[in-house]
Amino acid sequence: MNSQEIIAIENKHTSGVYLKQALTIVRGQGASLFDVDGAEYLDCSSGHGVANLGHAHPKIAEAIYKQASTLITLFETFPNDQRAMLMEKITGLVPGLDRVFFCNSGTEAVEAAFKFARISTGRKNFIAAMRAFHGRTYGSLSATFNKKYREGFEPLLPGFSHVAYNNIEALDKAVNEETAAVILEVVQGEGGVYPASLEYVQTARRICDERGALLIVDEIQTGFGRTGEMFAIEHFDVTPDLLTCAKSLAGGVPMGAVLIGHNIKNLTPGVHGSTFGGNPLSCAAANAALDVMKDEDLPGQAAAKGAYLMEKLKKIQSPNIREVRGLGLMIGIEMKQKVTPYIKALQEKRIIALNAGLTVIRLLPPLVISYEQIDHLVGVLTEVLSEEA
């Protein structure tokens, strides 16, 4: 099929909840995507942060093929070699979080974390941050701040409130003896690529400890090397009680997880579950992905390449740029205008980027992006961002 035929079929049958691009992608390799006609695009979205290892990584493909020929699905009631191996690997990444619940997506991980917090503490209320994005199902949507995601779905779950991000005083006033947990992104992604301050995160941990609340850290976008550490929380020298992750965990295969600390109680059989969670196919892909992250030092690559890209971006002389910020290869360019025209202009020049709100261009390239590709990206950005919006 050609591009027009593919687009016509999708437009006819799509649910309607996605804004479709006039660009048909059929193949990926490393940090590149290719359309149906073979044109190459530099992927600076990574599928919203999924493709940390790049596209079509041979070790992921090999692991999927081998496991698909062996055993694809198995409920967690029955132990499995791939699942056991992954449990051991992933719980070794953050000291103090030595249990794990597997699911299939980021929003499922957040939902599980909320259930675990309520049954563990016996409390009902949650504190989230303004600008936060935690997912689209009802619990995670209740913690998500932006009204554009919430409108039309109220009433949402009771017991959720939002306070200003990076504001210690506001957090201190909000957390009390009825708070089950505080949930934070230590780098807000959808909210504009805002890193938290060291003092804010460490104080959040102290406040939760003092008042018997739990600390949930949402690492769905920041996890697995994106910010220059395996998890972004490592920049802050804090251990949360629950850590949610997904996206790049299984090298592109859908998978989510909640890492669980010692303060979490009452997780008895039947309290929660997932039909597909921890299936052998996803676990095999995740085992291969974690091996690649370690063997290729993807967190180290993200730290070095992120610093290189950030330095070059800050040298762009454009009156349209308000600020460049981020951590590792999670970078936001805040503009003085709405960024939709810039995103479109970049795509015309074969760069795929994301927005983060109305005025921020979000760059989430695969961690395997080459320095040559980074230089090309900076060159195109210099041209586009200096133009009139």
Each residue of 146-167: pLDDT tens digit? 999 999 999 999 999 999 999 9
What is the secondary structure of 163-217 as a DSSP string? E-TT-HHHHHHH--TTEEEEEE-SEETTTT-EEPPHHHHHHHHHHHHHHT-EEEE
CATH for the stretch 3-18+29-56+297-385: 3.90.1150.10
- Residue 279 has a pLDDT of 98
- Residue 101 has a pLDDT of 98
Sign of torsion, CA 118 121 124 126?
negative
Tell me the pTM: 0.97
Q: Which two tokens stand for residue 75?
A: 């409920």
Q: How many of the other CB atoms lie within 10 Å of CB of 59?
A: 16
What whole-number distance in Å separates Cα of residue 176 and Cα of residue 105?
30
Listing from the earlier edge strand, what are the strands of the sheet with 25-29? 25-29, 32-35, 40-43, 351-352
- Residue 386 has a pLDDT of 86
Closest to 142 in 3D by CA, of 114, 180, 172: 114
What is the H or E stretch that residue 91 is in?
helix 81-91
Alpha-carbon distance values, 359 to 130, 315, 328 (Å): 17, 19, 21
CATH for the stretch 59-295: 3.40.640.10
Domain boundaries, the chain: 3-18+29-56+297-385, 59-295
What whole-number distance in Å separates Cα of residue 303 and Cα of residue 328?
5
CA dihedral of 153, 9, 27, 295, whole degrees rounded to 10:
30
User: What is the SS3 assignment for 81?
Assistant: helix
Asked if residue 119 lies in contact with residue 94, where contact means CB atoms within 8 angstroms, the answer is no
Q: How far is CA 74 from the centre of its chain?
A: 26
Q: How far is CA 21 from the centre of its chain?
A: 22
Q: How far is CA 355 from the centre of its chain?
A: 14
- Residue 388 has a pLDDT of 61
Q: Which residue ranges of the chain lie beneath pLDDT 50?
A: 389
Asked if residue 231 lies in contact with residue 243, where contact means CB atoms within 8 angstroms, the answer is yes
Asked if residue 226 lies in contact with residue 248, where contact means CB atoms within 8 angstroms, the answer is yes
Each residue of 272-315: pLDDT tens digit? 999 999 999 999 999 999 999 999 999 999 999 999 999 999 99
What whole-number distance in Å separates Cα of residue 151 and Cα of residue 209?
34
